[in-house]
Chains A and B, each alone.
Chain A
Amino acid sequence: MPVSKTAMQQSDNFLARIHIDGWLLSGLLVLMSIGLLTIYSASGQDMELIQRQVIRLAIGLVAMFVLAQVPVSFYRNISPFVYGIGIVLLLSVLIIGVTGKGAQRWLDLGVFRFQPSEILKLFVPMTVAWYISKDGMPPSFKHLMVALLIVFIPTILIARQPDLGTSLLIASSGIFALFLAGMSWRIIALFALLIGSFAPIMWLFLMKAYQKQRVTTFLNPESDPLGAGYHIIQSKIAIGSGGLTGKGWLQGSQSQLEFLPEPHTDFIFAVFSEEFGFLGVIGLLLVYGFIVGRGLIIASRCQFLFSKLLAGSITLTFFVYVFVNMGMVSGLLPVVGVPLPLVSYGGTSMVTLMSGFGLLMAISTQKRVMSR
């Protein structure tokens, strides 16, 4: 293959050598910067918080970089094993886990606490992709059923902790992989129907009181303006009062006066919308759209089925984060505790997200190595 040595391609080659996708990385860095600016405002100019977030982002970037260096075939080979380990960890959380904020999500490892449901966000799509890619696509009915089992075992275990947000994300990551693998439309319709009829059962038997309360509050926030509906109402006031152009950075009265709940974590989108307005929101959505688009391009360009499915699933799940968070903060969806990815303050979820992008980068750059 003849190689022309323009400056652009040189830098491209350098990035390719260290397995980094330049486009994707720029998108992520822009998001992170927006996040830091908004956290600074939302936390009342708390530099300590910013420092901690910068450290987390750095850890995330390092994780991404390291994971990008590993050959994709390795990920493929370890998929079923790490999945098994993940399930064992989830079971041990239910049995010996540490309870925090009313839910049992953590394993206490002495030195630090560890949330196994986080790593399953990656292990589940990996395993589904591994399983489907063994036999090619579209999957047969039998394979589809097994793959669904792979998805729903951890989903149910996590929903029982209870952690509705994470179980939703894991279920969608698995289902996206199946969807991209060509799961037939008839079965998709069947599932939509099943989920529809499952909802009342969840309501009656599976959901805890606080989860039910979130749903009732979502349906009618004004019913409890000083209690649970408070979050949604305040958040909508913040967003709405931002208007077309916003009140300006550090000028949002809702967030500055602490009318907003958790303004720098799950509800940061409300702060952003208040201060940067509808135009700012369109800008933010363009950045997210760019990242999702780039992810799907990577997915469709690579040769191997495993890589395609995994890359596609990671990208679409990232979009689900964005949609669910924006939806809940603006009152379209019930509050389920999903952060705005790479913008919200904190969390293990940031490291998981960046690890996902690490896999994506491994896929994007190593396809060339493999196709030689």
Chain B
Amino acid sequence: MNNRRQTIRDFTAESNLFLRRCLFAVLLCFTLILVVLNNLYSLQVEQFEDYQIRADGNRIKVIPVAPNRGIIYDRNGTIIAENRPVFNLEVSLEQVEDLDTLLDELQQLLELTPSDIARFERNRKRQRRFHPVTLIANMDEDMMALFSAQQHRFDGVAVEASLARYYPYGSALTHVLGYVSKINARDLNLIASWGAQSNYAASKNIGKQGVERYYEERLHGKVGYAQLEVDSKGRTLRILEQTPPQPGEDLILNIDIELQLYVQSLLADKKGSVVVSDPSDGGILAMYSSPSYDPNLFVNGISQKDYSKLIENNDRPLLNRAVQGQYPPASLIKPHLALLGLESQKITDTTHIQDKGYYQLEDVEHVWRDWLKRGHGKVDVQRSIVVSCDTFFYELAYKLGIDTIHEYMAQFGFGEHTNIDLLEESDGNLPSRGWKRARFNQPWYIGDTISVGIGQGYWTATPVQLVDSINTIINYGVKNRPKLLKASILDDLVITEPLNTAEPIRVLQKKNWDMVQQAMFDTVNTPQGTAFKAFSNSSYASAGKTGTAQLFSVGQDEDVDDLIIADYLKDNAMYLGYAPAKDPKLSVIVALENAGGGGSNAAPISRNVMDYWLGETH
């Protein structure tokens, strides 16, 4: 009972407190309304005339004008990416009286399909008012002639010229140049992160891949502005003032388009990549990844059908194998390992082994086989490279240990970007104890080291890393790393690009480097060498190393020759070489997927490239 009275008394008190608070809230709202009203009074009554003038001033519209994108040339000045005028048929809706009739008549005249009309309707909904709507993008000449003759019949319809990116060599340079395409939401974030929103105010396209993406900011140029006087309906009356846009920089690449086209022809119907570089400066003369695709498809927006075709292709044309393909480097890195052995004095030029065709650790049953079943007999470091003896390198790797190997091969750039001017580049993998712990949570086993000795196991590298590493050997540790851009043109001045340099590898004894180079020379120029056949009767002396990467492990008791191996598990054929052996003009990596042996499949392609580059045409 008592309790109940308490509640009732509370209720009255509560009600009063609530009422007081309500009144206070009303007071607060009232004050805030007065603040808003005071502000509006100052805008609408006190400053009315100012704002009225500014509203009239708004009849003058400032519109951004897109800059022309920089042109890209090859090393000889051939245009490889340009801007072509395209002609669009555009409809200014506010000038059209009867749109349906107009569309009917145009449809008859130009034989428009229902899907053209549907696209127009979509564009119309998206377009801002008083902006013309595109009816036909990229008209051909016939259509333009047809329309021009009848133009007087169509008020508010006009042919507008604009520039569109075009890649004259199509699929030959896709993985070098990349492409530009429509700016999407992700690109807008990117542009915002550069703080370049206003610079892209009028731009429709942006570089998405390759050189177009990497040098986007230099190719794009600077936006211009035009002040337009518009009438009360927003139509342009005249241009009052213009700040012209500044076109983007023109770029000159190290690429030689003739060589590039030749390389493309060599890789037709093959899956793989070729990178050709100039060892003197690391410039990329050619870089082709096969299969490729036509980048022009992307410029005006790729159709869903074409895109699915690219995505669903099992040979993965979108992959840039030259910088994204991660392969076991296999025997290609035997020269590097031999060099490490010599420089670290784990072996000397006279160290030799008796190769019986396999390698075995004491007290371990596992057998590591040489590719030659009967073995190579007595092999020293020189011969181990020439005949590509696996057993020698199993033992060398064992002597060196993974830590030493990792430390030295990292100096060659394995496991890291080469910093080539492409954002798509992969790192490959240079294994180490720490890596294996982090990746598999497992300790490093001796057996892991043995496989690394022949560039197998956990080791993967990209073709561009491999060609970079051979350049380092050629240059006695000096590193001029791969680079596509040779120079740029600003105000008619050709400005040479700085090279892509890196910390050199220290040379302990020059003769060790000479010896490795000599071994690669002998690989090509002595009858026992693995590349001898491919280069017989060539007019120059080259050097190189073959590689055959196993993608399939053969059981301990099985014989490779007895097995039928599926296509995608067949060996990768590789060749890494340079020519001429003295004062090299080019270095070449050929990496072919599932193509078999390196000496017989990859080396001949490398020879073709060298013949071409050193031949009469150059």
A87 to B31, CA, bound (A): 35
Contact B14 A240 (CB under 8 A): no
For A247, the closest partner residue in chain B by CB is B55
Q: Does A22 contact B (CB under 8 A)?
A: no
Instruction: Answer whether A244 and B54 are a contact pair too, CB < 8 Å, given A258-B128, A330-B39.
Output: no
Least CB distance from A176 to B in Å reads: 7
Q: Does A84 contact B (CB under 8 A)?
A: no
Contact A273 B44 (CB under 8 A): yes
Q: Does A98 contact B (CB under 8 A)?
A: no
Contact B36 A278 (CB under 8 A): no
- Which of A282, A293, A300, A331 is in CB contact (< 8 Å) with B19? A300
Stretch among B45-53, B398-406, B431-439 lining the A interface: B45-53
- B10 cross-chain contacts in A, Cβ below 8 A: 136
State the interface size on chain B (CB cutoff 8 A). 44
Contact A331 B39 (CB under 8 A): yes
> Which residues of chain A in 78-132 are interfacial with respect to chain B, using CB atoms and an 8 Å cutoff?
102
Least CB distance from A351 to B in Å reads: 24
- Which of B26, B36, B48, B192 is in CB contact (< 8 Å) with A326? B36
Least CB distance from B232 to A in Å reads: 7
Instruction: Answer whether A244 and B21 are a contact pair too, CB < 8 Å, given A136-B14, A323-B32, A326-B36.
Output: no
For B6, the closest partner residue in chain A by CB is A136
Contact A237 B197 (CB under 8 A): no
- B129 cross-chain contacts in A, Cβ below 8 A: 44, 258
Q: Does B495 contact A (CB under 8 A)?
A: no
State the main secondary structure of chain B at its contact with A: helix
Instruction: Answer whether A241 and B51 are a contact pair too, CB < 8 Å, given A236-B43, A300-B18.
Output: yes
> Which residues of chain B in 34-85 are interfacial with respect to chain A, using CB atoms and an 8 Å cutoff?
35-37, 39-41, 43-45, 47-48, 50-52, 54-55, 58-59, 62
Contact A312 B19 (CB under 8 A): no
Q: Does B33 contact A (CB under 8 A)?
A: yes
Contact A258 B25 (CB under 8 A): no
A102 to B50, CA, bound (A): 37
Which of A182, A241, A285 is packed against the most chain B CB atoms within 10 Å?
Answer: A241
For A304, the closest partner residue in chain B by CB is B11
Q: Does B22 contact A (CB under 8 A)?
A: yes
Instruction: Answer whether A227 and B45 are a contact pair too, CB < 8 Å, given A258-B234, A332-B35.
Output: no
For B189, the closest partner residue in chain A by CB is A102
> Which residues of chain A in 267-286 are interfacial with respect to chain B, using CB atoms and an 8 Å cutoff?
273, 277-278, 281-282, 285
A129 to B234, CA, bound (A): 53
For B57, the closest partner residue in chain A by CB is A237
- A326 cross-chain contacts in B, Cβ below 8 A: 36, 40
Q: Does B17 contact A (CB under 8 A)?
A: yes
Q: Does B130 contact A (CB under 8 A)?
A: yes
Contact A259 B43 (CB under 8 A): no
Instruction: Answer whether A240 and B29 are a contact pair too, CB < 8 Å, given A226-B198, A305-B14.
Output: no
Instruction: Answer whether A241 and B55 are a contact pair too, CB < 8 Å, given A278-B40, A299-B22.
Output: yes
Least CB distance from B448 to A in Å reads: 39
Instruction: Answer whether A281 and B40 are a contact pair too, CB < 8 Å, given A180-B22, A237-B51, A253-B58.
Output: yes
Contact B58 A257 (CB under 8 A): yes
Which of B36, B48, B52 is packed against the most chain A CB atoms within 10 Å?
Answer: B36
A308 to B39, CA, bound (A): 33
- Which of B19, B35, B43 is in CB contact (< 8 Å) with A240? B43
- A209 cross-chain contacts in B, Cβ below 8 A: 192
Contact B33 A237 (CB under 8 A): no
Contact B44 A180 (CB under 8 A): no
Contact B62 A226 (CB under 8 A): yes
Q: Does A221 contact B (CB under 8 A)?
A: no
Instruction: Answer whether A323 and B36 are a contact pair too, CB < 8 Å, given A179-B25, A258-B130, A312-B22.
Output: yes
Q: Does A71 contact B (CB under 8 A)?
A: no
Least CB distance from A27 to B in Å reads: 15
Q: Can you name 8 A-B pairs with beta carbons within 8 Å?
A: A239-B43, A240-B44, A240-B50, A240-B55, A244-B48, A282-B37, A296-B22, A300-B18
- Ranked 8 nearest A-B pairs via Cβ: A240-B51, A241-B55, A278-B44, A240-B43, A241-B51, A243-B48, A182-B17, A180-B21
- Give residues in B with beta carbon < 8 Å to A: 10-11, 14-15, 17-19, 21-22, 25-26, 29, 32-33, 35-37, 39-41, 43-45, 47-48, 50-52, 54-55, 58-59, 62, 128-130, 189, 192, 197-198, 201, 230, 232, 234
